[in-house]
Amino acid sequence: FRPPLGSFYVGFTSNLQAHVSLDKALVTPGREAMAYSARAPSLFFFFLAPSRFRSFRSGNYQLSITSRETMNFLPIFLDIKQRSCLVIGGGEVAARKVALLLRTDASVTVVAPTLGATLAKLHEKGHIKHIPRMFLADDLNHRYIVIAATDDTDLNRRVARLAHARQILINVVDKPELCSFVVPSIIDRSPVIAAVSTGGASPVLARLIRARIETLIPASYGKLAALAADFRGKVKKHFSHPPDRRIFWEKVLQGPIAEMIFAGKEAAARDALEKTLKAQSGVPHEMGEVYLVGGGPGDPDLLTFRALRLMQQADVVVHDRLVSSAVLDLTRRDAERVYVGKERDNHALPQEKINHFLVRLAREGKRVLRLKGGDPFIFGRGGEEIDTLAEQGIPFQVVPGITAASGCAAYAGIPLTHRDFAQSCVFVTGHLQNGTVNLNWDTLIRPDQTIVFYMGLRGLPLICQGLVSRGLSEATPAALIQQGTTPRQRTLVGTLRDLPDMAARATIEPPTLLIVGGVVTLHEKLGWFSREEER
């Protein structure tokens, strides 16, 4: 059809045949309803003129999507506490099913001539009952759930047939066609439970999907759900209209109170929720929060789960120049981005102004992501920023990141400590001040020690000269790593004598990391990520 231009709705269907109809007769008399049918995967666009879009939202349009394919299984959650459950089989497969049932406090009986080691221990401890013989039909009497987990195909089929005849829920391991229910892959954040199933088509795929979902659900979600359950009655009493309750809970579960739970501050979260309910407005306080997050050395795969979660919920992203574009791209798409990077002799915003800028944004009720390269507490001035936040009473949390020394060294195949080369490691800044590098040189020239210099590119000649003049050999191995952990990583390996000239000829681009010590010799053997060395 040719819909009028303007606003549109988008729908995506997968693994089904869909029929989509948009009834225009209510708006344009005499016109036939527009319809579109297709086999999935299909992407449907419904275009509506702006004025008609408003009518559509008010119910003057009717949109229906009907599937002509049914689900193989209905996802449900069963309460089987103290219910009689039967498992047939005594091996390790049966043991895994028994362990799952016991997590729900079910009453479990196992029928098998003998028990494997795992089930035998459970029986000795009184956690399960054991009937030491082959399965009999009467074993199904008064059972709520039955699981057949033997390696006898004929026996499994017989159990399934008998269970179906008695309308007892039956699962036959790895035989979905014999099952009335399947056991999904489970994400357990009790009382929050999520389940993933392919209907037995591919248990491995279900586990892979579960693993991805696991990264999105913090372990503390269960505590957050428990808090919500405790306050459910109070909130319902306070807000008589369901829409008001929904708005309230959305703000609570996505705001500072939830973050208090995730940070382990359960008592503070309960107190804040109590105060929120007692407030006359009945809405959470509009104070925002600052997330001081370490973005790592550049590779987005090195971000922590917590960092990624906060990056995707922030309203404003305040970032510096050391944050890679690949990491920055993982922040929320509609978040405001503010660059406050510092380069040599060119500060986009002085540190003190950055500190107070974060305070102002939080007081506006915004969730502020202060995103820094590496780790915010290692030459990142993160301590100064949260010191100001603490003084001003701004809620904040700190998420560590992989510091450049660790990440870049690992990607270059240079262990920072090694039994044969270094028993200690020192991180120092190589930043120039008034044309010199002010360091405690005596602590740096100790034997069997690795020295890592941050921000040392500009002062490289002075650093190498200073180490040699204080006693290190000119032949001491040294490596300069450019943009470590990213596709532009480049590693120059030389000595204190020749590395400055090598770097000048190679046109190295910051950010860089300088590593000095015997461990550098291992790069030739252990380097795995990049082979763009210049020697």
Distance of CA 214 to the CA centre of its chain: 7
Q: 17-51: b or e for each residue (b if 16 or more CB lie within 10 Å)? A: ebebebbbeeeeeeeeeeeeeeeeebebebbbeee
Instruction: Dig out the tokens for 523 from the structure.
Output: 């790069």
List alpha helices for 318-459, DSSP H.
Answer: 325-328, 351-363, 382-391, 404-411, 441-444
- Could you say which of 23, 251, 342, 498 is catalytic? 342
What backbone torsions phi and psi does residue 314 show, to the nearest 5 degrees? -75, 145
3 state SS for 15-63: CCEEEEEECCCCCCCCCCCEEEEEECCEEEEEEECHHHHHHHHCCCCCE
Q: Are 27 and 13 in contact (CB under 8 A)?
A: no
Task: Please give the angle made by the CA atoms of 456, 459 and 460, to the nearest 5 degrees.
Answer: 75
Q: Give yes or no: 265 in active site.
A: no
Strand partners for 18: 38, 67
Residue 425 contacts residue 499 (beta carbons within 8 Å): no
Other CB atoms within a 10 A radius of the CB of residue 108 amount to: 26
Among candidates 378, 357, 259, which has minimal Cα distance to 370? Answer: 357
105 labelled catalytic: no
d(CA 249, CA 276): 11
Catalytic site residue from 24, 97, 223, 320: 320
Give yes or no for a contact between 529 and 301, defined as CB atoms under 8 angstroms apart. no
- Amino acid, single-letter form, for residue 393: G
Q: Which residues are annotated as catalytic?
A: 320, 342
